[in-house]
Amino acid sequence: MKLPMFIVDAFTATAFRGNPAAVCLVENTLDEDSHQHIAREMNLSETAFIRKLQPTDNFTQKNTNNTLTFVTMSGELKARRAEDGIVLDFPLYPTSPQDLHEVEDLIKAAIGDTLVQDIRYSPDTKNLMVRLSDSYNRSFLETLKVNTEPLPRIEQTGKVKGLILTLKGEPGGRTPQYDFYSRYFAPWVGVAEDPVTGSTHTILGPYWSEELGKKEMRAFQCSRRGGELDISLRPDGRVDLKGGAAIVLEGTLTV
């Protein structure tokens, strides 16, 4: 069987930046073993398998608003092409204040004596969001050594599945300017650090919107690869996340 295969760097317009993902187009359903074998062969944190729901569907067909709907294991995902990128339609996830004493050991193990300004928890996504002190800048977050190895041993209740570190942007600083920065760690699911994470911005978006009094924001995820997102909170309680995409490999997979 020969399958079209792509590697796409998301949330960037530049190859070898952003979040790399393998995308495999399949005509028929593959069994779970095949999915896992292909994903291991690609050796990336994300591998997507896309197939038509109906034989008449066309992967390249455009509809009236340039939107494609993907039926995923996590629900429907809508994506539409914009002039300067691709817009993903996500729900918003609220956070609640988190008592420091309940997660103090986890935070201390991860970032040591780094000053923390706010801690929030998202029960919907099981992500712990830690806002660093406004006294730090982007360079500090980029170079911060985060120790993820002991975190699954410290937090074994299943309450936390991911750690978000975030920092307020620097007005009048670098160009382009960003409203906030972040990094994301999920050793509980085998991801020491994710290069760029669209889903965490469904949490970061509403948090920083309230803090900054803005509905339109620009964000940068400070991993080694780095990636940027434009965030737009909508009146219907959802959020549009826009980013670039660079195809860095196109070929055929033989299985």
Q: How confident is the model at residue 174, as a pLDDT?
A: 63
Sign of the Cα torsion 212, 222, 95, 48 reads: positive
From 27, 41, 46, 149, the catalytic residue: 46
The per-residue pLDDT for 176 is 72
Task: Please say if the pLDDT value at position 65 is more than 80.
Answer: no
For the cut 90, the answer to whether the pLDDT of residue 101 exceeds it is yes
- 210-220 pLDDT, tens digit per residue, is 999 999 999 99
Note the pLDDT tens digit of each residue in 107-156: 999 999 999 999 999 999 999 999 999 999 999 999 999 999 999 999 99
In this prediction, residues 39-45 reach a mean pLDDT of 92
Q: How does residue 87 score in pLDDT terms, banded at 50, 70 and 90?
A: very high
Residues 6+ apart with CB under 8 A from 186: 161, 162, 163, 194
Q: What share of the chain is helix, strand, coil (3-state, %, to 5)?
A: 20, 40, 40
In whole angstroms, what is the distance from residue 136 CA to residue 243 CA? 26
pLDDT classification of 73: cutoffs 50, 70, 90: confident
Local confidence band at 54 (pLDDT 50, 70, 90 cut-offs):
confident
* The Cα angle at residue 206 between residues 201 and 211, in degrees rounded to 5: 115
Asked whether the CA dihedral 71, 77, 78, 80 is positive or negative, the reply is negative
- Is position 46 annotated as part of the catalytic site? yes
* Cβ–Cβ < 8 Å for 166, 180: yes
pLDDT above 60: residue 237: yes
Long-range pairs of 206-211 with CB within 8 A, sequence gap ≥ 24: 206/92, 206/93, 206/94, 206/95, 206/233, 206/239, 207/95, 207/120, 207/129, 207/166, 208/166, 208/168, 208/179, 208/180, 209/233, 211/168
At residue 36, does pLDDT exceed 90?
yes
Q: At 35, list the tokens.
A: 């999915």
pLDDT at 97: 98
Mean pLDDT, range 181-209, rounded to an integer? 97
pLDDT > 70? residue 163 = yes
Domains of the chain: 2-82+244-254 (3.10.310.10), 96-242 (3.10.310.10)
Query: Which distant-in-sequence residues (6+ apart) come within 8 Å of 108 by Cβ?
Result: none
Task: State what percent of residues in the chain have pLDDT above 70.
Answer: 94
On average, the pLDDT of the chain sits at 93
Nearest-angstrom CA–CA distance, 24 and 104:
42
Query: pLDDT tens-digit profile of 122-134?
Result: 999 999 999 999 9
Sheet containing strand 2-10, strands side by side: 46-51, 19-26, 2-10, 245-254
